[in-house]
Structure formats: C-alpha cells, structure tokens
Structure 1
Amino acid sequence: MTGGTSGIGLSLAEAFLLEGAAVAVCGRSQPALDRFAKEHPGTLAIQADITVSADRTSMLQAVAERFGRLDVLVNNAGTLVDRNFASDVGATLGLDEEVAVNLTAPIHLTGETLRRWPDLGAIVFVTAGFALVSPTRAPSYGATKAGLHSFAEGLRRQFAPGGTHVLEVVPPLTDTPMNAGKTGKKLPASEVAAATLKALKSRRPMALPGLSKLLPIMLRIAPKTMSRAVGKL
C-alpha cells in the first residue's frame, strides 16, 4: 500500500486488516510510519520514496523477507498541485515530481512487482474523478490521473480474462488531509475503502464510490454540464 499512513491509503490498510490480511504500507514520513506501526501491530511500515528506484527495490525486498509474497499491490500515493498556466510564470515548478509520484512511479512499481511476483492476485490503482474530467485549478494533476487511468485500462486487457485482476478506484472529493482546505461535500475515506474491497471481491474493473458512480453516465448524456461542474472543484 503506497501512501498508506493517511487518507484513503490508511482507510484501505485498515479495511484490509479487518479482512484478516497481512498489510505492508510505505510512506515518506517516519513519524507517521511509526504511528501506524504502533496502532497496527504486526504490520510492516516502510520508509520509502516511490519515485526512487532503490527505495522501491528495498521496499519489495522487505515485503518478501517479512511475508514471503505479495498478493495485492495498491498504488495509492499521489499529490495534487494547483497550477495556473494562464497567469503563473512558475506554473511548472515541481512538475517533474508531481508526474513521477502520480504516474511514472506507479508504473515502475507495478512492473517491478510483477517481475518479482508474476502471479500477483490484484493490482489496484487509486485515480480520481479528475481522471475523467480534468480540474481547472490543477490540469497537470488531471493529466497524470488520466494517464494512470489509461495505463490501468491497457494493463487490464493484457491480463484478461483470467489473470491478475486490475482494479481502478475512482474516488470523488474525499475527506483526506490533501483536501482539508477544499469546500463541498466530501466522502469519508472509509467509504472509498469499502467500495474498493467490494470491487476486488467481485473482480470488477472499476470502483466508483459515492458520486463517482454518476460520472460515466453524465459524461455520456451531459458532457458539457459535467465538465463545468467538475472543473470548478
């Protein structure tokens, strides 16, 4: 579970634990990892930056040494940066890191995990409603999540029909630290986790918790209206 010490990642980790799973999480903050390990004895909390190749290798090795194998990889870590390309001359500041965290690192980690465990049971990608309609305030975030959405879609076809289950989770605005300053109705992260586990059990291609379930339909019947609504978030 990447980014497993807060927000959706933490709720997912706790949901898997309630199902009796052995859980490993990674994150950058050692205090957050220490807190997670203390509150959830028996888990594995690894300090790692998923954008660094050596950290990914060490992380997978730690999982192998502790549990012997990995059954489900959850690519959850992500970052959202507001960028106004129309008015800010520094709009691309930190762009490479954002793209790495949201898109290229999950792709690398997926490939590296499959090389080690080619019979992986499931791969989960946490994208966002913004993968389907990019937000006006953060177009690069929308672009990276759209890229991850496309990667999951293509990967799913490569494993079809009976291979590794590839699940994309498309949360709406969720009550997480990343969205602490945002207004509007927020879905509890626990509901995203519950929808994810339900979709995994039924081997569905996508989990659409809360209002996200309306996105595909509305984009077909009223694309301009939906684009304007989501673009304001």
Structure 2
Amino acid sequence: MKQVVLITGGTQGIGLALAEAFMAQGAAVAVCGRSQSTLDRFSHAHPDALAIRADVTSPEARIAMLEVIADRFGHLDIMVNNAGTFVERDFASGGDITRDLEQEVALNLTAPIQLTAEVLNRWPGMTAMIFVTSGYALVSPTRAPTYGAVKAGLHGFAEGLRRQLAPMGIHVLELLPPLVDTPMTATTTGKKLSSARVAAVTLKALALRRAMALPGQTRLLPLMLRLAPAAIKHIVAET
C-alpha cells in the first residue's frame, strides 16, 4: 500500500519541493492551496497527485478536504503543516500595525493546530506529523515580530505534541528552514537555500526519526544559541 501524504500550501515553494520529493519516493500525495491557478499548474505537472482547493483557516474547508482524501485514498500516513505567510510589521512606526493580524495568526498557528486535531481524530494510526516553522521560531526577526511569535508558538506546539504522540508511535518532525528561495522571498535579499535542498534534508530527518530538520544555516542554530546566544540572536534577528 502506498504511503499517503497531505501537504498544505503544497503548490509552490517548500511545499511543492516536499510534494515532489515524496512522489519521487513513490508516495501518493495530496496538496491543498487557495489559488486555483497554482493548483491547476500543479495538477498539470503532476496528474497523479491530488490537488484540493481549500483555505485551511476555514473549519468547513478543512473537513471537506479530509473527506476528499478519505474518498480518494482511504487513509492518511503523513501530514505536513506547511501553509503560512510572512508579514513585516514595524510597531515603532505607528499606524495600523495590526491590520490583518487575525488572518496571519490563523494561517500560521491556529489552523495547523486545528488541522492536527482533526487529522488525528480521523486517522489515529498515522505515521508522522511534520510542522514547517522557521529559524525565526528560535530567534524572532526584528522586521517581523509577529511572524517570530507565531512560529515560536508552532515550535512549542510541535515539541509538546511530540511527547504526547510518542507512545502511539507517531513521529513529530519540525522543519526549521533558513531563508529559502521561494515566491514568498522573491523580494528579499541575502543567501537563499533551494527548496529542493530543504526537502531532501527533511525527508532524511524523517527517515531517521529526528525531532528537527535543520537545513542550511539553521543546522548549527540550536547549538550556537547555547554557546553564544547574544551574538547569534543579533545576527539572525537582523536578517
């Protein structure tokens, strides 16, 4: 029986690279997204995969998505909570700094938690849960403190969930990518890691049942935060 994988936000960037990496290993893959045009492009490139239009912040959309997966595959083995958004907010500048804050928190934090519960209730015997957070989950960026906050929240959720699910044999893996070359970072300068490389590191960490996948510049981040916290926080926070 093929392994079945669901990836939220799987039509571009890291999500797409993960989808293609899982498919290369022979898995049956379902992705979801909000843009019909990107879903159509994904389906054209990968006709054997399942592309579902769904806004994961909508309870009704999440339930409908899981029904489609159940009808198509009958089960789910791996859930990848990848969908997210990066919003810069300067609280020192004044103005309407918290505009659309509820949507940012919902997409980056609340929806993954809710979807996790819904998936586990339906398929308690699944193999793994993967959460895409960020190096900014450990050091919040100066230009986007709310992004750092929600990713830190998801990091904490994954950590506690890992202990809860360990007796059930469900592996919880957290992916902490650095700056990655994706459509979301197109206007951001700096050294960027390829999405394909991030996906390769993630699948290796999954196979080895590691707690974290740390590609590129994040590989030494936990260690450096212990050895030289002030210096590394200054470097990372300003990126």
Task: Tell me the TM-score range normalised by the shorter chain.
Answer: over 0.9
The answer to whether structure 1 residue 92 and structure 2 residue 109 are counterparts is: no
How far 1:161 sits from its partner (Å)? 4.6
User: Distance in 2 between the 1:217 and 1:41 partners?
Assistant: 42
The answer to whether structure 1 residue 195 and structure 2 residue 201 are counterparts is: yes
How far 1:174 sits from its partner (Å)? 0.5
User: Distance in 2 between the 1:102 and 1:34 partners?
Assistant: 24
User: Distance in 2 between the 1:72 and 1:157 partners?
Assistant: 17
Instruction: Please point out which of 171, 174, 183 is paired with 2:177.
Output: 171
SS at match of 2:32: strand
AA in 1 matched with 2:172: V
Instruction: Please point out which of 70, 75, 81 is paired with 1:69.
Output: 75
How far 1:160 sits from its partner (Å)? 1.9
AA in 1 matched with 2:229: P
- 5 Å-filtered alignment, 1:59-208, equals 59-161=65-167, 163-208=169-214
User: Distance in 2 between the 1:9 and 1:88 partners?
Assistant: 35
User: Distance in 1 between the 2:95 and 2:237 partners?
Assistant: 22
How far 1:42 sits from its partner (Å)? 1.1
How far 1:89 sits from its partner (Å)? 1.9
Aligned length: 233
User: Distance in 2 between the 1:90 and 1:221 partners?
Assistant: 38
User: Distance in 2 between the 1:198 and 1:218 partners?
Assistant: 23
AA in 2 matched with 1:83: R
User: Distance in 2 between the 1:196 and 1:113 partners?
Assistant: 21
How far 1:41 sits from its partner (Å)? 1.3
AA in 2 matched with 1:231: A
User: Distance in 2 between the 1:212 and 1:161 partners?
Assistant: 29
Structure 1 moving runs of 4+ over 2 Å: none
Q: Deviations over 1:19-78 (max 9, x none)?
A: 000000000000110110111011100000000000000000000000111000000001
Q: Deviations over 1:109-157 (max 9, x none)?
A: 0000000001111000000000000000000000000000000000000
The answer to whether structure 1 residue 57 and structure 2 residue 67 are counterparts is: no
How far 1:88 sits from its partner (Å)? 2.8
User: Distance in 2 between the 1:132 and 1:74 partners?
Assistant: 20
User: Distance in 2 between the 1:69 and 1:213 partners?
Assistant: 33
Tell me the TM-score normalized by structure 1. 0.99
User: What RMSD, in angstroms, separates the aligned Cα atoms of the two structures?
Assistant: 0.7
AA in 1 matched with 2:207: K
List gaps (5 residues or longer) in structure 1: none
User: Distance in 1 between the 2:19 and 2:169 partners?
Assistant: 24
**Identity percentage over the alignment?**
64
The answer to whether structure 1 residue 16 and structure 2 residue 22 are counterparts is: yes
List gaps (5 residues or longer) in structure 2: 1-6
User: Distance in 2 between the 1:230 and 1:161 partners?
Assistant: 35
User: Distance in 2 between the 1:88 and 1:23 partners?
Assistant: 44
User: Distance in 2 between the 1:88 and 1:178 partners?
Assistant: 25
User: Distance in 1 between the 2:100 and 2:108 partners?
Assistant: 13
